[in-house]
Amino acid sequence: MSEEASGRKDLAAVRGTRDILPGEVEKWQALEGLARATFELYGFRELRAPVFEPTELFEKGTGSTSDVVVKEMYTFTDKGGRSLTLRPEYTPSVVRAIIEHRLDLEGAPMRYYYMGPMFRYDKPQKGRYRQFHQIDIEVFGEKDAAVDAEIIEMAHALLGRLGVEGTETLVNSVGCRAGRPAYSAALREAAKGRLSDLCADCQRKAETNPLRIFDCKIETCREIAAAFPSIQDFLCAECRDHFARLLACLDVLKIPYRVDPRLVRGLDYYTKTTFEIVSSGLGAQNALLGGGRYDDMMKDFGGPDVCGTGFAMGIERVLSVAEIAGPVRKILYVAYLGEEAMKAGLELARFFRANGVECLIEYKDRGMKGHFGRANKLQAARVLIVGPDEMAKGRFGLKDMATGKQVDGSREEILALLLEK
């Protein structure tokens, strides 16, 4: 049966992955270029880490109770018997690299960015894939809430350059390890008091993750949850000051935001600041980017006590709402007549390419009409005409396909014309 099966389906890209084809890939390149240019303005440098890491890295970093680690990792055993995992997120890798190379001792600003694929075994839907791509930025060693505001502003700057509109910035503080357990307990207590009035889903959340009751869409649950204690009341003095300073700096940078006490985020390691930028142009998966502060991870890894803060931006999601276009290509199509002219055209193509002109020659014998039809099909900007007559004179034709105007000249004269616009 399997040998009879249609090859086409069997060889399709696996579930949750997809090809990015010419025509679309130019948008990716444009986005990546704008991201690099923007981050470099803020003093960030690229840091490339491996696509897979020891499974333990994510268990300790991302958190062994997070959904990502519990049920979404691509984990496998290699031939040496090691348990490895295709990274579901990037932050633990950067932290590992800093410790491994003692980058904290170099004195350079620890501002890093990276873009590449991440892997999570989720059920695919709009804006959610099993191999997806993130742009990730991290800053280490800056305790001041000002840097949290700075990276949020940097995210805005990038989204602005990408033509993304209709976004909202949500910020919150989840406190530190001192205050958070107390808040969870208080929330659980409050939920127990109204348990019978909550929906079945929320009754379950009351046990497993009381913070998520705030996310329920049922009206009665929302009303009940509105009366629950706010995390703001459980922050220690230091966390409260940190959060106030974040908001003050966002005001200085003129970043509009909304404080959302429900914004907890699913990764275990966040402390103090959490934030998210959401878009109205997406479906249920509406977060364009999310991040926050993680002051304990480095220490928990057995490294120096260096704090961190950063965010991850989903490339697929941003592209679906971005207004960017790839560069306009101005292809020069080489039209020739006959074998000798083909060889002359081949050499002319080499010459023009060596001088920076995108040039296309195809090895199919066509008449002049056929060549022009093909050039038109390819949306070539110009056609170079090489025939026996041209070769005899050493002067070739150059036709502008948009205007229909045609001139002739030596190859140097034509090159000059090609380069001037």
Partner RNA sequence: GUGGGUGUAGCUCAACGGUUAGAGCAUCGGACUGUGGAUCCGAAGGUUGGGGGUUCGAUUCCCCUCACUCACCCCA
SS3 251: helix
* 128 belongs to the binding site for RNA (CB under 7 A): yes
* 218 belongs to the binding site for RNA (CB under 7 A): no
Determine the size of the site formed for RNA (CB under 7 A).
Answer: 70
Q: How far is the CB of 280 from RNA (least distance, A)?
A: 12
Q: Which two tokens stand for residue 394?
A: 């050493």
* 362 belongs to the binding site for RNA (CB under 7 A): no
Q: Which two tokens stand for residue 112?
A: 């890093």
DSSP code string of 181-244: HHHHHHHHHHHHHTGGGS-HHHHHHHHH-GGGGGG---HHHHHHHHTSPPGGGG--HHHHHHHH
* 21 belongs to the binding site for RNA (CB under 7 A): no
368-to-20, 77, 373 alpha-carbon distances in Å: 35, 60, 9
| One of 87, 111, 180, 265 touching RNA (CB under 7 A) | 265
Nearer to RNA, 67 or 238 (CB): 67
Q: Beta partners for 213?
A: none
String marking each residue 326-345 x if it binds RNA according to CB under 7 A: -----------x--------
- The distance of Cα 202 from the centroid of its chain, to the nearest Å, equals 32
State how far the Cα of 276 lies from the Cα of 290, in Å rounded to an integer: 4
* 200 belongs to the binding site for RNA (CB under 7 A): no
* 126 belongs to the binding site for RNA (CB under 7 A): yes
* 283 belongs to the binding site for RNA (CB under 7 A): yes
- Where are the strands (E) in 244-395, listed by range? 258-259, 271-279, 287-293, 308-314, 332-336, 359-360, 382-386
179-to-16, 191, 211, 310 alpha-carbon distances in Å: 39, 19, 14, 22
Q: How far is the CB of 91 from RNA (least distance, A)?
A: 8
Which residue from 328, 342, 321 is spatially nearest to 387, judged by alpha carbons?
342
Nearer to RNA, 106 or 165 (CB): 165
* 269 belongs to the binding site for RNA (CB under 7 A): no
Which residue from 154, 179, 292 is spatially nearest to 237, judged by alpha carbons?
179
| One of 287, 331, 346, 361 touching RNA (CB under 7 A) | 287
Nearer to RNA, 304 or 320 (CB): 320
Contact (Cβ atoms closer than 8 angstroms) between residue 66 and residue 120: no
Q: Classify strands 359-360 and 332-336 as parallel, antiparallel or unpaired.
A: parallel
Nearer to RNA, 104 or 201 (CB): 201
| One of 50, 163, 166, 367 touching RNA (CB under 7 A) | 367
* 276 belongs to the binding site for RNA (CB under 7 A): yes
* 75 belongs to the binding site for RNA (CB under 7 A): no
Q: How far is the CB of 381 from RNA (least distance, A)?
A: 9
Q: How far is the CB of 182 from RNA (least distance, A)?
A: 21
In the complex, which residues of this chain contact RNA (CB under 7 A)? 1, 4-6, 9, 12, 14-16, 66-68, 72, 89, 120, 122-129, 132, 134, 201, 205, 209, 212, 215-216, 265-267, 276, 283-290, 312-314, 316-317, 337, 367-369, 372-373, 375-377, 383, 385, 387-390, 397, 399, 401-404, 406
